[in-house]
A and B are shown apart, each in its own frame.
Chain A
Amino acid sequence: DAMVIQNPRYQVTQFGKPVTLSCSQTLNHNVMYWYQQKSSQAPKLLFHYYDKDFNNEADTPDNFQSRRPNTSFCFLDIRSPGLGDAAMYLCAAQGGGGYTEAFFGQGTRLTVV
C-alpha cells in the first residue's frame, strides 16, 4: 500500500496561473520534504518540515510556498509558474524515534504551457 501519496500524478498549468500540488502520508511521520527534480538531475530540496517547524532552503524562489495543515498533509503552492518550473515534484516523509528512512511518493510531473 502506498505510504506517501501525491496528487495529481500529472499536472498541466498555464504560464503564470497558480497551481497547488498535494501530498499525504499514512506513516504519521514528523518530517516532510518537497523536492524539485529536473531531467537527469538529483532531487533539489525546496522545503522541509520537522513537525510544524518550517525550513526554507536559501535558494528556493519566493514563487514557491508550502503549507502543512496537519501531520498527514503537505501542499506545495507555485504562485506564478514559469517555464523553468516544469519538473517532477517529489514529496517525502521521514519518521522519528530512530526510524530515519525517508519514503517518497511517486511524484507530480508539472508541465507549464
Chain B
Amino acid sequence: QKEVEQDPGPLSVPEGAIVSLNCTYSNSAFQYFMWYRQYSRKGPELLMYTYSSGNKEDGRFTAQVDKSSKYISLFIRDSQPSDSATYLCAMLPGYSSASKIIFGSGTRLSIRP
C-alpha cells in the first residue's frame, strides 16, 4: 500500500464548476499537508499549505484536512480553464533530518470552456 493515494483522473469539468480533489494517506504521523499545481513541463507551484486538521481558504481554493479519517481535499470554486493542470498532494510527518515530503501520484484536471 502506498503511503499516499490520489486518484489520477483525468478529471474533466465545465468552466465554473466546483472541483474536489482528494488524497488519502496511511501514516498517522503526517502533520503538514500541501497542494501543488503543476502545468505541463513546469515545476510544481505551491497552492496551499496546512498544518494538522482544519480548513484553509485562499481565494477560490479551500484545503481541508481530516486527520481522524486520514483524508485531505482541495476544493476549487468557479473553476477556470487556467486551472487545467496536474494537482499533487504532498505530506510531511514533521521537521527533522529524517523527514521527507511524500507526494501523491497527481490528478490531471481539465476545465472545459
What residues of chain A have their CB less than 8 Å away from a CB belonging to chain B?
Answer: 4, 6, 33, 40-43, 45, 48, 50-51, 53, 55, 88, 90, 92, 94, 96, 100-107, 109
Interface residues of B in 76-109 (CB under 8 A from A): 88, 90, 92, 95-101, 103-106, 108
Is B49 in contact with A50, judged by CB distance below 8 angstroms? Answer: no
Is B97 in contact with A53, judged by CB distance below 8 angstroms? Answer: yes
B residues contacting the other copy or chain, number (CB 8 A) = 26
Query: CB within 8 A of A42: which of B41, B45, B46, B103?
Result: B103
- Complex A-B, nearest 4 residue pairs according to Cβ-Cβ distance, in ascending order: A50-B97, A104-B43, A107-B43, A106-B43
Kindly provide the distance from the CB of A75 to the nearest chain B CB, expressed in whole angstroms. Answer: 17
B42 — which chain A residues lie within 8 A by C-beta? 106-107
What residues of chain B have their CB less than 8 Å away from a CB belonging to chain A?
Answer: 32, 34, 36, 41-46, 49, 51, 88, 90, 92, 95-101, 103-106, 108
Q: How many residue pairs bridge A and B at CB < 8 Å? A: 59
Cβ-closest chain B residue relative to A57? B100
Kindly provide the distance from the CB of B70 to the nearest chain A CB, expressed in whole angstroms. Answer: 18
Is B43 in contact with A42, judged by CB distance below 8 angstroms? Answer: no
Is B103 in contact with A48, judged by CB distance below 8 angstroms? Answer: no
Is A104 in contact with B106, judged by CB distance below 8 angstroms? Answer: no
| Bound form: Cα–Cα A51–B99 in Å | 13
B97 — which chain A residues lie within 8 A by C-beta? 50-51, 53, 55
B36 — which chain A residues lie within 8 A by C-beta? 104
Can you sample 19 A-B contacts with CB below 8 Å? Answer: A6-B43, A33-B101, A42-B103, A42-B105, A43-B88, A45-B100, A48-B100, A55-B100, A94-B101, A100-B32, A101-B49, A102-B92, A102-B101, A104-B36, A104-B43, A104-B45, A104-B46, A107-B42, A109-B41
